[in-house]
Amino acid sequence: MPGTGPEGVVSIVKNPKKPAQPMPLMTPTTPVTPGLSRPLAPLPRAARTATAVALLAAALTACGGSGASRPQSVSADQLSADPLTAVRNAADITGRTGSIHASTQLTTEAGDKKAAFSGTGGYDYVKRIGKLEVDIPPGAATTGKITEVVLPGIVYLQNSAAKIPEGKWVKLDVRQLPDGNLVSSGATDPASATGALRGVQKAELVASESADGLELKHYKGTLDLAKAADATGGRGADGLRMAAQTFTVKEIPYEVWLDQQGRVHKVVENFGFAGVAGSKDPKDQVKVVSTVTLADFGKPVDAVEPTADELYTLPSSAPATAPAK
């Protein structure tokens, strides 16, 4: 069990050489806190101020995708007949719509323990900012909702049940998070989920399907998060790169549904990591299924970056971690 810091939040310390593993699971029967599989030793005050970060005690913690500089007419885009090209191009084509609204589902499974998170929100590819609200399952280590605002390489978090002053946000650099925030806040943000498709290595057309009056092409295959990070570039690649280093499943299975313009309507990605750092024992492996469904292409998204006076900072006298209870 990881240590918890003051005010009921978790302290996570950046270790660029050997990132800690994400927490294995948050379940109704086994409350766990996200971020680390074991507590870290306290740091000196200066280092603590720079690298100790607060995370909510309930979720498993976006990088924003590369986005688009401005929306373009969707008539310029068309689904490629080649499955590999179609899927690899999907993130950029989706970004050129300007903005999207999303619903998210994330399930975790470790042995007989399971948990499910659901959320809603959207992403503005022009401003390169998104917002999600994620519901916490009953019986978890905390309650209420997690609200996150994501930008390339940065995530801001709020939890209605955390002991953080009302209206305050915790700011995190995704490089401080072992999973790059792909799963640990209970959702994969839309820019990260679609951005991962830039690293697709295999793509197979499964079928043509109809949904809400649209014809969608259903593809499946595997993707490489490290290659997705290289193709994305900039701060938008940080989360993908962190996850590539941490996740034990390197060939990520995925399924995606694209419309005739090549836009993503739904993407399902299957992640895996060791719940116990360094363990290869099957019982310690955690399976995560992340589903992101997109709609309302071009519809404005209400997402604003918190201001400096809205941020919550851990007291400098607070220890980086405390013993687990």
* Distance in angstroms (rounded) separating the CA atoms of residues 21 and 252: 17
Q: Is the CB of residue 63 less than 8 Å from the CB of residue 235?
A: yes
Weakly modelled stretches of the chain, pLDDT under 70: 1-76, 139-142, 160-161, 314-325
> How far is it, in rounded angstroms, from Cα 230 to Cα 242?
12
Give which of 130, 134, 136 is closest to 154, Cα–Cα. Answer: 130
- Residue 149 forms part of a structural domain: yes
Asked whether residue 307 is domain-assigned, the answer is no
Residue 69: what are its φ and ψ, rounded to 5°?
Answer: -70, -30
Which residues sit opposite 156 in a β-bridge? 149, 171
Range of the domain at 181: 6-302
Domain CATH number, residue 41:
2.50.20.20
Sign of the CA dihedral with 116 first, then 34, 229, and 69 last: positive
What DSSP letter does each residue of 44-91 carry, written as one string?
A: PHHHHHHHEEEE-SS----------SS---GGG----SSHHHHHHHHH
Is 1 contained in some domain? no
The DSSP output letter for 126 is T
The domain tally of the chain equals 1
Q: What is the pLDDT of residue 316?
A: 58
CA distance 108 to 287: 6
In a domain, 141, yes or no: yes
Q: Tell me whether residue 22 is in a domain.
A: yes
Two structure tokens written together for 193 = 């989920």
Q: How many residues are recorded in the chain?
A: 325
pLDDT, tens digit (0-9, with 9 covering 90-100), for 41-51:
232 333 322 22
- Global confidence as pTM: 0.77
**Would residue 309 count as lying in a domain?**
no
Q: In this predicted model, what pLDDT tens digit does every residue of 125-144 receive, in sequence order?
A: 999 999 999 998 886 666 78
**Which residues fall within 8 angstroms of residue 15, CB to CB, at 6 or more apart?**
none
